[in-house]
Amino acid sequence: MTQKKILLVEDNADDADLTLRALKKNKIMNEVVVAKDGLDALAFLFSATEPRELPGIVLLDLRLPGVDGLEILRRIRADERTRLLPVIILTTSREQEDLLGGYRNGCNSYIRKPVDFSEFLVAVQQIGAYWLALNESPA
Amino acid sequence: MSAGPVPLEAPGKRWQLVTTAALAVVVLPLFLPQVFSAASFLPHSFCYLGNSSLITLHVVSDVLIWLAYVAIAATLGYMVWRGRETIPFNWMFLAFGFFIVACGFTHLLEAITLWRPVYWLAGYLKAVTAVASVATAVLLPPLVPRIIAHTRAAVASEQVRAELAASNKELEAFSYSVSHDLRAPLRAIDGFSRAVLEDSGDKLDEQGQADLKRVCAAAKRMGLLIDDLLTLARTARSEMNRTRVNLSQIAQEVATRLQTTNPTRQAEFKIAPDLIVEADPGLIRVVLDNLLGNAWKFSGTKPNAVIEFNWQKQDNEVVYFVRDDGVGFDLKYSEKLFAPFQRMHDEARFPGTGVGLATVQRIIRRHGGRIWVEAAVDQGATFYFVLAGK
């Protein structure tokens, strides 16, 4: 069985590399597609010319240049093909507004990136264990 | 005569004066001998030569005017009663109300005297109306500058409110940026330092490795500082929702959480049961989190430490306190204890950012209360606080 891809939507190159590193350290070997901004992410998910296989999970940053994370989440939930996709918000903000915005728009989980990389390793390990192994998602 | 405007419990004595004067001019004429006497006067309709159209025109108009005036006065009275704490010069509205009612009754009497020639009563009522009108006319002019000042002040305070709302919005945007943009580089500093340690740590000597670990520690510390500052900012701008809060229950939850962080530690929490206050539950939790957290931290070096949360009556006030028997501190240096970033102990022994007590003080003040401390070196510390009633 081929492993599902992970779509990582992250505009900060440092954060993207650290997330990739954390995935590798946790031996999560799924292919990771990095979208550097909102348009990139939308192009990957909704490209009309070449319908792609959907990712297994989306790791979504909120504050992105152009189309922001909540807007991407809204579009994912609005489209019949992607509306059941597990979306995990992975962001810096702990502001109530963002949390509410995330859950109101139907994110599956909201995780705040800790400063401490060892804590981040644990967070990524748990995301992988839960969303890629334990949890049953609709095909 | 109608009871006039509803009596009210407004501050100031002017309204009492107005009501008393009104009652006096209404009641006194009733004791005059000929007030209800119609004597041998002819009803007023004779003047109209019994012309029924003319009589109808007068009666309908006078009765309508009477009804409308009474209704207007009732509305004024109701408004003053509802807004008795906020409407300025409300006695003036009562004077107006009385004057309008009096006018209304002169019109009613006009209609009555068409058939019943109670001209004395009508005359007295006109006199009452005259007194009320003159009084209102005399009282009104001196009020003009004050009313104008009041309106200007209201406009000004509305402007201040709008400016405050705008600066609050700005602050919100600012703290959002702080929470997001300042933390991202810290993650990179910590993450990549660790990456160097893991991937090429063997190329570094012991000193190099230790230094890099200090970089990580500093980044984490700055992360904590940012978080604490955000909490401090949030306590200032978040809305207050006062409800009944069980302080004892929150304290117990905090205590349980603290004990799970170090299950082997022998420390006793003595929490008085069922201390109920009116407060914002979220904010008051931050207070107990910090005070009990501090007590736990600064008694950590002591075996069998005792941490107490209780209350006492002091000068007719309910004073809550959190007491520990830990390292304490010299009160001489406590002046700035509640200012942000002020610390009494060295970071290595007792880690912390120095923002906690500043946050606590701000929350207590937002509840209209006070906080103070008693402490001595090696004899623990007691933080007292009062929460003002609503």
Residue B384, phi then psi, degrees to nearest 5? -105, 145
Residue of B nearest to A98 (CA): B176
Band the pLDDT of A97: cuts 50, 70, 90.
confident
Q: What is the pLDDT of residue B87?
A: 74
Q: What is the pLDDT of residue B269?
A: 94
Q: What is the pLDDT of residue B216?
A: 92
User: Residues spanned by CATH 3.30.565.10 within chain B?
Assistant: 241-386
Tell me the ipTM for this assembly: 0.82
Q: What is the pLDDT of residue A4?
A: 86
Residue to test with chain B: of A12, A20, A116, most B Cβ within 10 A: A116
d(CA B351, CA B299): 13
- H or E segment and range at residue B27: helix B14-27
| B192 close contact with A: CB closer than 8 A | yes
Q: What is the pLDDT of residue B386?
A: 94
| B228 close contact with A: CB closer than 8 A | no
**Burial of B249 per CB tally in 10 Å (0-12, 13-18, 19+):** middle
Output the DSSP codes for B102-148: HHHHHHHHHHHTTTS--HHHHHHHHHHHHHHHHHHHHHHHHHHHHHH
Domain positions in chain A are 6-133
Is B176 in Cβ contact with A92 (below 8 Å)? no
Is A94 in Cβ contact with B179 (below 8 Å)? yes
Q: What is the pLDDT of residue A1?
A: 45
- Averaged over successive runs of 10 residues, the pLDDT of chain B (390 residues) comes to 43 66 70 69 83 90 93 88 76 82 90 87 87 85 86 88 84 73 89 92 91 91 84 77 93 93 90 92 92 93 92 91 91 80 77 85 91 91 84
Homologous superfamily in CATH for domain B241-386: Histidine kinase-like ATPase, C-terminal domain (3.30.565.10)
Q: What is the pLDDT of residue B1?
A: 41
The predicted model scores a pTM of 0.58
d(CA B363, CA B62): 62
The nearest CA of chain A is from the CA of B182 a distance in Å of: 9
Option in A18, A91, A95 nearest B188 (CB): A18
Q: Position A89: which residue type?
A: I
Q: Which two tokens stand for residue B132?
A: 């009320």
| B183 close contact with A: CB closer than 8 A | yes
**Rounded alpha-carbon distances, angstroms, from residue B91 to A134, B26, B72, B130, B185:** 74, 18, 16, 19, 64
CATH code for the part of the protein at A6-133: 3.40.50.2300
Q: What is the pLDDT of residue B390?
A: 45
Q: What is the pLDDT of residue B225?
A: 84
For residues B293 and B299, is the Cβ–Cβ distance under 8 A? no
Residue with the larger pLDDT of the pair A88 and B227: A88
